[in-house]
């Protein structure tokens, strides 16, 4: 794992956000990215280009490199070789504040702190008004359950959100993301802890959150993958299939086999 090092930004400046528009997608590129843990190569040389506004799902067996890609894009790590670009700018050249504003990672266990629902949602945008918080909750389908709770938006979530169900916690994390309005949203197994009814509610919220944004989705549940514009199938850190979900499903290849296994697991 390479250490974070300062780079002098020689790439074009990121496009400014347009007034009144949030969540404008940006182009993401992985160029000859190599990365490994403790001498073991996970990504031997990855090239991916994601146009602005496209939703891409990464699928593959455990250890294929999906979560590593998500963490590299969120810059938890830097590549050993190669580079990751956001609108042509190397992530290592971006100030942390800019990077965290542009790219948001949502995982299966987003942290909720002791406090109110409103306080937890406001983490996505500390200056958000009560009206903005309520509008975000309504947009993702969380307003009804919040208002049904004693105290509504001021209801206390408890330690690590223990007073809420897994689905409710995830909706609040999506509310944060909606308020943050990132250009790029990364979902790493964001629905894996939910039951089927909870997943359906979250699926509806996802369609709202992803609109107009560049997104990278990692999911073993292929029902989540179906909302993607494009699927990339990984094996040993390399791309074995790349295309629209329906086309890959009809092709009878790796994605088709993964989809059949997933359907069988539901029986």
Read off the pLDDT of residues 62-95 as tens digits, 9 standing for 90 and up: 889 999 999 999 999 999 999 999 999 999 999 9
Q: Name the burial class of residue 96, with classes exposed (0-12), middle (13-18) and buried (19+) by CB atoms within 10 angstroms of its CB.
A: exposed
The pLDDT of residue 10:
41
pLDDT in tens, 157-198: 998 888 998 888 888 988 998 899 999 999 988 776 666 676
Residue with tokens 């306080």: 119
Both tokens assigned to 195: 């039951």
The pLDDT of residue 85:
97
Q: Residue 29: which H helix or E strand, with range?
A: strand 28-37
Nearest residue to 121 via CA among 140, 94, 102, 149 = 140
Crossing angle for the helix pair 130-140 and 196-210, nearest 10 degrees?
120
The pLDDT of residue 110:
72
Both tokens assigned to 251: 């092709």
The pLDDT of residue 54:
95
Contacts of residue 102, Cβ cutoff 8 Å, sequence gap at least 6: 14, 26, 86, 94, 182, 183, 184
Instruction: Please answer whether residues 47 and 32 qualify as being in contact, where contact means their C-beta atoms are separated by less than 8 angstroms.
Output: yes
Q: How does pLDDT run along the chain (267 residues), one tens digit per residue?
A: 444 433 444 444 444 443 333 446 899 999 999 999 887 889 999 999 999 999 999 999 888 999 999 999 999 999 999 999 999 999 999 999 999 999 999 887 778 899 999 999 999 999 999 999 999 999 888 899 999 999 999 999 998 888 998 888 888 988 998 899 999 999 988 776 666 676 777 777 788 888 889 999 997 778 778 889 999 999 999 999 999 999 999 999 999 998 888 888 776
As separate numbers, helices (DSSP H) first and strands (DSSP E) second, the chain gives: 10, 10
Instruction: Please answer whether residues 97 and 21 qualify as being in contact, where contact means their C-beta atoms are separated by less than 8 angstroms.
Output: no
Residue with tokens 């509310």: 175
Residue with tokens 């780079």: 7
């Amino acid at each position: 794992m390479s250490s974070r090092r300062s780079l002098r930004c020689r790439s074009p400046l990121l496009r400014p956000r347009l007034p009144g528009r949030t969540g404008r997608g940006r182009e993401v590129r992985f160029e000859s990215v190599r990365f490994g843990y403790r001498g073991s190569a996970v990504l031997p040389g990855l090239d991916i280009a994601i146009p602005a506004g496209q939703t891409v799902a990464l699928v593959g067996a455990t250890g294929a490199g999906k979560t590593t890609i998500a963490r590299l894009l969120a810059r938890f790590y830097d590549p050993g070789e190669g580079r990751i670009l956001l609108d042509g700018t190397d992530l290592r050249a971006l100030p942390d504040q800019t990077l965290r504003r542009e790219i948001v990672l949502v995982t299966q266990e987003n942290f909720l702190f002791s406090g109110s629902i409103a306080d937890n949602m406001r983490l996505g945008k500390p200056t958000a008004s009560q009206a903005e918080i309520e509008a975000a909750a309504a947009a993702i389908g969380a307003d009804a359950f919040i208002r049904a709770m004693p105290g509504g938006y001021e209801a206390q979530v408890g330690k690590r959100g223990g007073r809420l169900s897994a689905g409710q916690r995830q909706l609040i994390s999506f509310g944060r993301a909606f308020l943050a309005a990132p250009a790029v949203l990364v979902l790493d197994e964001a629905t894996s802890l939910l039951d089927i009814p909870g997943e359906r509610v979250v699926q509806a919220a996802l369609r709202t959150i992803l609109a107009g944004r560049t997104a990278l989705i990692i999911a073993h549940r292929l029902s989540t993958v179906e909302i993607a514009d494009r699927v990339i199938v990984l094996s040993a850190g390399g791309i074995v299939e790349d295309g629209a979900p329906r086309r890959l499903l009809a092709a009878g290849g790796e994605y088709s086999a993964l989809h059949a296994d997933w359907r069988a697991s539901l029986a």
